[in-house]
Amino acid sequence: MGKFDEETYGYLSVKEYFADLINAGCFGGEAVVSAGDLEELTGRTQAETEGKGRRSTYRDLRMRLRDGTSFVLLAVENQASIDWEIPVRFMCYDAAEYKKQLDELHRKKRQRREEIGLKRSHWAEKMGAGDRLHPVYTVCFYHGEGEWNGPKSLKEVMDFGEDAERWEKRFGDYPITVINAEDAEVAKNCRTELKQFLEVMSARRDREKLSKLLQNKAYENLSLETSRIIAVMANVPEFLENEEKYKNQEREGYNMCQAMDELREEFRAEGRAEGRAEGRAETSLACIQNLMETMQLSLEQAMNALRIPEDSRPRLKQLLCK
């Protein structure tokens, strides 16, 4: 698991943010899932892949949502890139969850029979007409670049052959839910600081947009968890190296606006340096062209005459050839 995946796993482990992600991404912002009804499940569900390179894979984050005397199981998988195997992978994860429930059902039935002195019976321990499993919902949290253009159902990765219409309508599809971290509508529907996190996600590759966004007062007093994940995502090492420096003295949170002010100054310094470099390049180009025209020198001769450094010559040649 990469650094960002680790940070996201830790961040979404906070029940308020987990609930907000499900509500915003699956229910349009309706408060269907309450943080107070969530219970994080320890350990990760394991699903084994078969074949020569057999290995175990683990789903990322699991929460149990209590609903009266019953519950549903919610799982979030972090995804940084398009994966065309994801419908099959999610099926394996969910099947492993249902298998765990069946194993527990068998265990309880066996225990009850032992308590009343009955012999073990394979068939008596199996699921009966009155037994029920708890539903499992797996969500893909995609934080890669751009839109998700991978499959959103098992049907999309099927080859139904020449008689596709006949077979496709009888196919038991397996749809998946994808929440795109850069979806502005999802961020808009958030009710917690997850909103600020997702807003920064959508601006992370645009310095100007990111700089403008982090001038918003909403970023002046964020929790440490939100501040940290924003610092990792937006590459603000100053915050990660000295968190206390950015603590809001008047309130309890942390001031990411201050951290970004310093980063903006770095951006401006880089811009000034780039501007000076471009200015020098333009001057050099003018001198080179002048020597080539007035003294009939070759490009190499002109650069030798002006003592242009070797490491600057490829860039100047590229500009002259435009």
**203-233 residue pLDDT tens:** 888 877 887 888 888 888 999 999 989 888 8
Average pLDDT along the chain:
84
Domain contains 237: no
Domain termination site, one of 168, 203, 238: 203
Task: Tell me whether residue 217 is in a domain.
Answer: no
Domain match, 84 and 13 both: yes
Final residue belonging to a domain, choices 164, 182, 203? 203
- Tell me the residue type at 82: I
pLDDT one-digit tens code per residue, 128-171: 999 999 999 999 999 988 889 999 999 999 999 999 999 999 99
Residue 180, in any domain of the structure: yes
Q: How far apart are CA 127 and CA 122, in angstroms?
A: 10
71 contacts 65 by C-beta, under 8 angstroms: yes
**How many distinct helices (H) and strands (E) make up the chain?**
12, 7
Both 277 and 194 in one domain: the answer is no
Going by C-alpha positions, the residue among 263, 207, 268, 205 that lies closest to residue 237 is: 263
Task: Tell me how far apart the alpha carbons of residues 148 and 182 are, in angstroms, rounded to a whole number.
Answer: 10
Let me know if residue 28 belongs to a domain. Answer: yes
DSSP state of 161: -
CB 77 within 8 A of CB 138: yes
CA 309, 311, 314, 319 torsion-angle sign: negative
Does residue 246 fall inside a structural domain?
Answer: no
Q: Are 164 and 66 found together in one domain? A: yes
Q: Which has more pLDDT, 220 or 53?
A: 220
Nearest CA-CA partner of 90 in 55, 136, 44: 136
Chain segment 231-289, per-residue pLDDT in tens: 888 777 778 888 888 887 777 888 888 877 766 555 554 544 455 556 566 777 777 77
Domain final residue, candidates 203, 226, 245: 203
Counting the structural domains of the chain, the total is 2
Q: pLDDT band at residue 301, thresholds of 50, 70 and 90? A: confident
The pTM of this model reads 0.75
pLDDT confidence of residue 222: 92
Same domain, 28 and 171: yes
Same domain, 169 and 285: no
- Domain assignment of residue 292, given as a range: 262-320
Per-residue confidence (pLDDT) for residue 56, from 0 to 100: 45
